[in-house]
Structure 1
């Protein structure tokens, strides 16, 4: 009797586990959006704060903004340059085979609020590399903007 009870409980447990795994209910997948524009200052003045926004194109109206994804690192060829690589992640339901939703595909969001450079910042330039997509060789393509640190020196008129 114990053996039959054990087998019955095991069968019911496995059946409920398998049925949960076969669920075609909502799930989440991620996709990159194409960055089409940005707002950056002409230069970063130490101890000042700047809002930096990014404009991007959603893959379709079924996608929603999820987050910005980015890393920063020193330029391998020029140690006076700090590079920020920025991507926009979106989410969608992969169970939806056709997107019938309509909506605005171009959005603008704040990447950094009150972005600042300290007075002891060691780099001369901050290079932003915004992911715009990939080329035919599946290599990443970027919108690259260099922002110098410190106010540019005033040019003196030639005499």
Structure 2
């Protein structure tokens, strides 16, 4: 199985990007992981929130394969602790799917079309974080999940 993270807009903070790269490298020892960054939409000042979500939604949907399982990182999604998240990952791996895709949307969330296509929603916290921080937190939690599944000492119970 491959896990793919799709996110809108690049990470411009070098320190954050360095940490993202570190956890991405660590994660590669457990699973094939891809991060795909969709560039920020140009001229957003001329677009309403709905138009921006629609344009971002089209770009997100164009990155998907027909067989992908799509999970949105959304503030109204299901919350897990780290152990339960590792079990969630294991269930998806056991299901024999080819690619599990997680998406971090733009500043206004997702278009209705993206919500309709989604197979689920996941929330990392009730708090709001920057899109750049969520990338780091999510990739670290993926890494933590796999160390839990392998019974490695990174996660202390």
TM-score normalised according to structure 2 size? 0.24
> Which structure has the higher relative contact order (CA within 8 Å, separation 6+)?
2
**Which protein has the bigger strand share?**
1
**Which protein has the bigger helix share?**
2
